[in-house]
Structure 1
């Protein structure tokens, strides 16, 4: 999908997530800085912000008093103590990077396999067909 939730060619994909209302990617710049790139699906409005990792591992970006917190379980958009948007991921994947830093894959048993190479993500699923015998 060609949206604002996509890393540039000079960035590496660190994580991506999808809710019913948004797409989010976290990109790593060549200097090691992190960037939040989100798209609101209702109007395809993109948002690109620098993002940092908090002490509990949550990724946090801020824009004009609004905070975007990304964890492996949810996205939380808030302003002060007011929750603007909170949703669990339909899908969320974090890449695990090899020592060489060129490419790697992250695999979860029973889930699709995600292969990460620079900014390309390929998702494949294996399905085992079932055979039913006719009644009789």
Structure 2
């Protein structure tokens, strides 16, 4: 994905300054402005998946590059492929092919926020070098409004705006439609235990030859799993659910259920008990 942000002013890398009395240790210059880019794969209003963050790494004196955060819904950092400041624009290129929240091969729209922040001096009276790390000051608005588009063969992605554009714009999202799966709707499987409650949304709905299953997300961003064994219609429901880089891991005691676009793997204490090939998988 290639992302370009155009500003009303001229964005620049944050200068690094020496910490007095601590050799070559440096901090971001107090008073300097920077920004973080928030990418919402399915739009601002979607509960799932969580946003991806692009931000500079100003706290490593040996590297002043940009990195990606939140790829698996947790704190996992990866460097972007390349980035550049030029005039009023900032451009970066990043490989998001391994991120579970982006449908493989689907065209879809997404939303972007650009959050400016300013480095402030730390309070007086601190003695350790860590105390010199400036504190952030955030404005009361988010800018600019932006959108991005990703295709199977990625094309340049552009977002535009300026300080006067204070409110983000939501865009429509083309995703797998429930009509593609006759017995699925917006809550999961019809007439099945593998279905979310009315106030929740499916983060993933999937079917193997042996099972129906759904991962549901609540308003507080917690997840639960519901499944049905088709041979005898036996239901199951578990609340220990975590996202990972390929899909989902559901834990019930020593038993884990790993769900991805490739299939459902069931293991007990690490020993694989079964692997069911995926027939249908719908993210979101």
Distance 1:69 1:44 in 2: 20
Distance 1:65 1:81 in 2: 8
Partner of 2:273: 84
Among 41, 47, 52, the alignment partner of 2:230 is: 41
For 1:8, the equivalent position in structure 2 comes to 197
Equivalent-residue separation in structure 2 for 1:52 and 1:81 (angstroms): 17
Q: TM-score, normalised by structure 1?
A: 0.65
Indicate the RMSD between aligned Cα atoms, in angstroms: 1.2
Q: Distance in 2 between matches of 1:77 and 1:57?
A: 15
Distance between the aligned counterparts of 2:270 and 2:256, measured in 1? 10
1:64 to 253, 264, 275: 253
CA displacement at 1:36 relative to structure 2: 1.2
Taking structure 2 as the reference length, what is the TM-score of the superposition?
A: 0.32
**Superposition deviation, residue 64 in structure 1:** 2.2
Structure 1 residue 79, shift from structure 2 partner: 0.4
In the comparison of the two structures, how many residue pairs are matched? 94
Structure showing the higher strand proportion among its residues: 1
Query: 1:119 maps to which residue?
Result: none
**CA deviation string 1:74-126 (max 9, x = no partner):** 1101002321121111111102xxxxxxxxxxxxxxxxxxxxxxxxxxxxxxx
Structure with higher Rg: it is 2
State the partner residue of 1:53. 243
Cα deviations across residues 27-67 of structure 1 (Å, max 9, x unaligned)?
A: 1011111111111011111111121112x243111112110
Q: 1:23 aligns with which of 212, 216, 225?
A: 212
Looking at structure 2, the residues matched to 11 and 64 of structure 1 have their Cα atoms a distance apart, in angstroms, of: 25
Equivalent residue, structure 2, for 1:111? none
State the structure with bigger RCO (CA 8 A, min sep 6), 1 or 2: 1
Superposition pairs of residues 123-134 of structure 1, within 5 angstroms: none
Counterparts of 1:49 and 1:8, CA distance in 2: 14
